[in-house]
């Protein structure tokens, strides 16, 4: 199954892909489009991706989480294209024999995805401005705004 999709993410088919008689727990993370970013009101955003690499890198992350055994099974979908507030941008569904492993696999995949998978978002703000989100710049921006507040 492809990770990137232009269609709304539906959860039930993802759950069905990891469901199995020997897996007693499923952990789900959904990332939604938030209405604010660094104090500014967001209208919506455009996601874009480096498709071939995003698919390959996500497959690698899932394999790491699954540990090559029957320990866990994980599926991921990530939207590309234009999204509005409240839309599901990413879904990680992890099944394992017990809840601990399911939560652990789910957490691992979303954290690594955010660090490694080549997907970008361009935010459209209510005030008419448009910005590419740069997580490496946000710390500096935060520090600057903290400094202003002091």
Partner 1 sequence: MTTLTVRLRYLARYAELLGVEGEELAVAEPVTVERVVDAVRAKHPAASQLPAKPLCAVNFRQALWGDRVAAGDEVALLPPVAGG
**Site for partner 1, rule CB under 8 A:** 31, 47-50, 52-54, 56, 78, 89-90, 110, 113-122, 132-137
Q: Which is nearer to partner 1, 54 or 65 (CB)?
A: 54
Q: Which is nearer to partner 1, 29 or 103 (CB)?
A: 29
Closest approach of partner 1 to the CB of residue 21, in Å: 31
Closest approach of partner 1 to the CB of residue 45, in Å: 10
Closest approach of partner 1 to the CB of residue 148, in Å: 24
* Separation CA 108–CA 103 (nearest Å): 8
Report DSSP state, residue 125.
E
* Separation CA 27–CA 115 (nearest Å): 20
Q: Which is nearer to partner 1, 48 or 71 (CB)?
A: 48
Closest approach of partner 1 to the CB of residue 50, in Å: 5
Q: Which is nearer to partner 1, 129 or 136 (CB)?
A: 136
Closest approach of partner 1 to the CB of residue 26, in Å: 20
Q: State the maximum Cα–Cα separation within the chain, in Å, rounded to a whole number.
A: 57
Q: Which is nearer to partner 1, 20 or 30 (CB)?
A: 30
């Amino acid at each position: 199954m492809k990770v990137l999709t232009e269609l709304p993410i539906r959860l039930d088919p993802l759950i069905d892909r990891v469901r199995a008689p020997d897996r007693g727990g499923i952990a789900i993370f959904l990332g939604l489009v938030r209405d604010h970013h660094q104090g500014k009101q967001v209208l919506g955003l455009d996601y874009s991706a480096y498709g071939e690499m995003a698919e390959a890198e996500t497959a690698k992350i899932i394999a790491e989480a699954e540990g090559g055994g029957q320990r866990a099974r994980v599926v991921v979908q990530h939207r590309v294209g234009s999204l509005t507030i409240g839309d599901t941008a990413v879904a990680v569904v992890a099944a394992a024999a017990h809840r601990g492993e399911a939560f652990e696999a789910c957490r691992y995949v979303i954290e690594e995805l955010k660090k490694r998978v080549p997907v970008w978002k361009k935010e459209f703000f209510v005030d008419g401005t448009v910005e590419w989100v740069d997580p490496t710049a946000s710390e500096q921006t935060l520090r600057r705004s903290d400094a202003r507040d002091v």
